[in-house]
Structure 1
């Protein structure tokens, strides 16, 4: 296979490609049109771009094929969608670009979009954010649900998008650059508690997968694996990728 074959989508999704194009388009145009004194530095621009691109890569390149036929690659895919990509985007602090575009919205549209703000505020409550962040990992790795998700194209896309969107919400809660003393952002101590709780709960799940004596995810036996890797090794590597973060 050529490099182009690896870069082309394995499972072409117009909605996914359009979504990423809009994100990069609005970000790029915002950078060009916003006042220079408000423009993020080159390192932050690089972090945002890298975060978006690696999320795109695991969803719309040949990587997605391997994620569907190898458990440990699937866990690597979700490691990027739920952790690494959103962390880079949150650390890039895209708030200045978002504020630039928000200022362009008419008062009527702002009123229409207000319910989204209410939903966002609810989802950013510490307990709810923690429950969703860890709960989605457990939910999609529940053996029977995971089996169905890997065999259903629609459910598979719901799984991947839910992991990405929840990762963006959670890591923004953790890395929100606004000072807690004068904004509604979470205090630093509570951020550390939420992060520690998420890490411990995810480690429990990873340890269960690693030390399980039986094949937990037999869907990869049904569909076949992309590489001739021993099933126990595949599960072990996937469990380690779940455990380490």
Structure 2
């Protein structure tokens, strides 16, 4: 039965609370101070807040407890941190709010931000972004590394934060609202290719976990499971979560990017058809 205690942190992290509250505060304040014509619509605002909220929920509620003692819940936690939450926030296009706050940064502070900008641009290279996106999943699911991460509080938090930050970088690259024709944004074809390429290794890893006859992640046997579930069932469900939902999200993202590309192409075609007529008149 649901109770308010389930919303309280299992392992309270002041840094996590501060970061999420700061992001929420900056977003809401930016919306209030922005000119009305620049503000995103209600659906986009809701989508961003939903993505932010579910990421917070899996890190600072009782969900985090179950993710430490059930493998399939842990895979659900990383599905949200690395895929669904960043997917929703990037899809909501917070670029107007980001640009608003960027204009508020004093000129004397900007030189100190240059190194961060260089790192960001390096990580947003398509090959690097795709490699990190898949590589981090494999890294933290390597049995010996996963064993240590689930038994070390510091490693556990590093694991979760790395998944969230990497997810934000990847999905922002995919859903960058800028037009590739008028900016240095990655082309739509490259984005769709990236989505297809990152889906395949995830499907392979999920299938390997599902069809593995032995216990791959025995750390949950050492710590004990939160529910009386057979270890094989826990691992099976966790493998399915690693396998199916990420692949489905890649397909959905490809369809979204394809729609954007077709929409932009139709606009460009319309302009080309209209200009000669205008000149003739």
TM score, norm. by length of structure 1? 0.99
How do 1:131-210 residues align onto structure 2 when only pairs under 5 Å count? 131-210=131-210
Matched, 1:42 2:22: no
CA gap of 1:33–1:180, structure 2 versus 1, over 3 A, is: same
Distance between the aligned counterparts of 1:56 and 1:207, measured in 2?
Answer: 29
How do 1:72-83 residues align onto structure 2 when only pairs under 5 Å count? 72-83=72-83
Instruction: Give the structure with higher Rg (CA).
Output: 2
CA-to-aligned-CA distance 1:43-69 (integer Å, 9 cap, x gap): 000000000000000000000000000
Shift of 1:182: 1.3
Shift of 1:141: 0.1
CA-to-aligned-CA distance 1:155-182 (integer Å, 9 cap, x gap): 0000000000000000011111100011
Aligned length, in residue pairs: 245
Distance between the aligned counterparts of 1:242 and 1:143, measured in 2?
Answer: 15
1:243 corresponds to: 243
Query: Aligned to 1:107, what secondary structure does the other structure show?
Result: coil
Shift of 1:110: 1.2
Aligned alpha-carbon RMSD (Å): 0.7
Matched, 1:118 2:118: yes
Distance between the aligned counterparts of 1:94 and 1:163, measured in 2?
Answer: 20
TM score, norm. by length of structure 2? 0.86
Distance between the aligned counterparts of 1:125 and 1:183, measured in 2?
Answer: 15
Query: Aligned to 1:129, what secondary structure does the other structure show?
Result: helix
User: Structure 1: any 5+ residue segments left out of the alignment?
Assistant: none
